[in-house]
Chains A and B, each alone.
Chain A
Amino acid sequence: MTKVFIYPTNSLILSDLIERFGHTPLAMMGEVHDKITTIGIDSPPLNITPEDPKHGLKYAAVEVPAGVRGRMSLLGPLIDKAEAAIIVDDAAISFGCMGCARTNELTKFLTRDKDIPVLELTYPYSDAEGKEFVYKISEFLESLPKEDRS
């Protein structure tokens, strides 16, 4: 199974399709789960703590806003672990906890910059586009090795 990083990082569709075709999605939800179930100073533990912007310094410079660095402390380790990636652009839904444009840019840059296979698509809004979307993802995922690399 290949670890596939997804963007948008909490996408239901991408997460489902990757598991469906036999690989492991690297999504934000798993990182958040680990953070909020690890006992620390905060009670209950929070998904972002004041420490996180410091961890984010590995991925973004000190003059970059703390919000970007905090988000990168969750996303950066996922990109480091990624063995492949699927990026879906043109998401009108990049708001909420996904809504930091600079983090999104940096995430996509670091993913493209890494020497891994990357598939780039846009969200489908018609049956024909949906079919192309699913077929391209399946073709991409089938080209990745199925055996466990770790």
Chain B
Amino acid sequence: MAAHEDGTLTKLVVISSDSVLPIDAALEIYESEIEITIKETCFGTMVTGPEDAVNRVVREVVKLDKNHIFVKERGFPPGDDRRCRAGRGGGPRPGFHFLRNEINILPIIGKALDDFDNNVPLEKIVRPEKLKVSHLKDIIKSEITR
């Protein structure tokens, strides 16, 4: 992740694990005794503070279940007036729809990462072929003549 001029960094830690809860991640961060700000959310935690400290803490949290905890940078710090829904009259904050949609795919990705670590070979996927126009015409004709 590229360094920022102001030296701070905010990261979203998204937990999609059967064994780790957002509270476990938060406790891991509290125990680290590093001076950073964290916010617990329904999907995980948000961590903000000096870049080195945030990266160090996030690495520790990811170690709890490395293939099922996902991290990305966030532009705005947690609780920022420009984004926080407390000051915007409720509703999902901008960008949450996208995050929520990706969170639904995370179990698939986590499982694939487990397989990757266990060197499970990739099987060829047989995708259903698109319906041919001639076949569609036959279906229509058979429906009409019924």
Segment touching B, from A49-57, A64-72, A92-100, A106-114: A92-100
Segment touching A, from B17-25, B29-37, B67-75, B133-141: B67-75
Residues of B within 8 A of A133 (CB): 109, 112
Q: Does A145 contact B (CB under 8 A)?
A: no
Residues of A within 8 A of B101 (CB): 92-93
Interface string of A7-38 (1 = CB under 8 A from B): 01011110111011000111111111111111
Q: Does B130 contact A (CB under 8 A)?
A: no
Residues of B within 8 A of A124 (CB): 105, 108-109, 112
Contact A12 B99 (CB under 8 A): yes
Residues of B within 8 A of A32 (CB): 75-76
**Chain A at the B interface: mostly helix, strand, loop or mixed?**
helix
* Closest chain B residue, CB of each to CB of A124: B108
Q: How large is the interface on A (under 10, 10 to 19, 20 to 34, 35 or more residues)?
A: 35 or more
Contact B75 A97 (CB under 8 A): no
Interface string of B1-14 (1 = CB under 8 A from A): 11011101110101
Complex CA gap A107/B1 in Å reads 21
Q: Which A residues form the contact surface with B (CB < 8 A)?
A: 8, 10-13, 15-17, 19-20, 24-38, 44, 46-47, 92-93, 95-98, 123-135, 138
Q: Does B122 contact A (CB under 8 A)?
A: yes
Contact A29 B5 (CB under 8 A): no
The 9 nearest A-B residue pairs measured at CB: A32-B75, A130-B108, A134-B112, A93-B101, A15-B72, A29-B73, A130-B112, A16-B70, A131-B112
Contact B72 A47 (CB under 8 A): no
Contact A132 B5 (CB under 8 A): no
Residues of B within 8 A of A34 (CB): 4-5
Least CB distance from A134 to B in Å reads 4
Which residues of B (83-106) have their CB < 8 Å from a CB of A? 94-95, 97-99, 101-103, 105-106
Contact B112 A135 (CB under 8 A): yes
* Closest chain A residue, CB of each to CB of B125: A128
Complex CA gap A146/B35 in Å reads 32
Contact B72 A127 (CB under 8 A): no
Known: A12-B102, A34-B4, A37-B4. A27 touches B125 (CB 8 A): no
Instruction: Please pick, from B2, B5, B70, the residue contacting A13 in the complex, using a CB distance under 8 A.
Output: B70
Contact A10 B105 (CB under 8 A): no
* Closest chain B residue, CB of each to CB of A131: B112
Known: A93-B102, A95-B97, A98-B98. A36 touches B75 (CB 8 A): yes
Complex CA gap A10/B12 in Å reads 12
Complex CA gap A131/B109 in Å reads 7
Least CB distance from B29 to A in Å reads 18
